[in-house]
Structure 1
Amino acid sequence: MKKILFTLFLLLVIAPAFAQEEGEIKGVVVNDATEEPLENVNIVNLNQVKGTSTGKEGKFMIKAAVNDTLYFSYLGFKSIRVRVTNDWLKYGDIKVKMTELGIALEEVVIRPVQLTGYVEVDAKIIPIYDNYRYRIAGLGGGYEGGQSQPGAVSRVLNSVFNPADFLYNVFGKRPKQMRKLRQMKEDDNIRNLLQSKFDRETLMAVLQLERVDVDEILNNCSYSEDFIRTANDLQILDAISECYEEYRVLNRGKG
């Protein structure tokens, strides 16, 4: 009996503490340089996959718990992540400052290639560009060449012998991220947010993928390069989701 009473006592003491760890948090987003409020800043709770945006005065409210990460993105500004703390939940509003991106255009000088007419000489004069793409018919996959992708050839060869490995590595080993993908589809705020975006940033943040991974998923799911290049982020979300559902069906069939 004493043990039961002690357990109930602990529950009464601990329960309020846990209850305080989650709630509606408020804040305002401003330009770091001018302190002016920023309207329509996109905000996503990466842990709970909930979205919202700031109003005319830069104010926002979103459901969050302690240690959740909020992702702020706004056109022309550097995207940031903010961790929710106990103080934020206890004491209310917080000011989030976003830094405007400085866009510096580099001067490009185009010099004509002077050919001599001798093949042996001209072959050494003509510049070699590394921005090429390997492609294998029937696999639907492509891999960027050049210094940024030193293993491009080996990746292509591996895809020949294991064409299903890429999707398994992405989907099979990321069940948590794929659950978040389904949550994103069900949140109207996030869907509205993604419909006007083309930078893939929010998708990459939630799914913990790089831009090249997103492109390769769509390549391996037989989406065209034109679609990958021109689709908005909501269309990309739906495409990845459709591919994931097909993967799940095939995976169940193998079992």
Structure 2
Amino acid sequence: MRGLKDKVALVTGAASGIGLAIAKRLAEEGMVVGVLDINAEAAAKAVAEIKAAGGKAEAGICDITHYDAVKAAVAEIESKIGPTWALVNNAGWDKPIPFLKTTPDFWQKVVSINYMGPLHMTHAVVQGMVQRGGGRVIFIASDAGRVGSSGEVVYSGTKGATIAFSKALAREVSRKNVTLNCLCPGPTNTPAMDAFVGTGEEGQKIRDAMVRGVPLGRIGEPTDYPGLVAFLASDDASFMTGQVISVSGGLTMHG
């Protein structure tokens, strides 16, 4: 992709799953990657893998649910690798529970991670982008935020809110050459998916049902998404902002 070499990308939740795949791809494209994760050991392992493949990366420990911690983490990682060109808001969490069986404590956790976390990161990073006159923000949202998902009611709400937030902020900062776009994955084979559906016979039944609903006949893999993230971070996407793109094997088709 054009315009990525030696620029800095910060990726949250970058120590595993989709986030790790994104971090590795951006490093392959020549970017310097800040691997931000709450799991210090996993983040260090991810950085070691990127460096072993010839890429450039540094780890940063970050709890995205606390704004002061986010500001400190961003300042620390930028002091090591430079100002951020691309922010990938990837970190997220959920647990399948019917809404009427959930509690306010559960709502707060889902909202704190999936909505307030990206707001914290975006507020901390985009101020510098605006001052420098350019940058890219990519949200890993979800089709749950576009069409809803049974058993993920609060999560669906946070992803819908994230999509609306990205569109509104895109309008505010576009004249500063800062763009914001959303990528919406479908069901994906990640450790988070294992935790979500469970393992064993019951978990496999849920996976099989997911596959039956996807026209391309499979659920996603973490490597299905980083190419689009790289594109959105690149000069090739300089005239795109406020867009929402589903990558779901045809599970959802938006016109």
Per residue, is there more helix in 1 or in 2? Answer: 2
**How high is the TM-score relative to the length of structure 2?**
0.23
Name which structure has the greater RCO, CA cutoff 8 Å, separation 6+.
2
- Normalised by the length of structure 1, the TM-score is 0.23
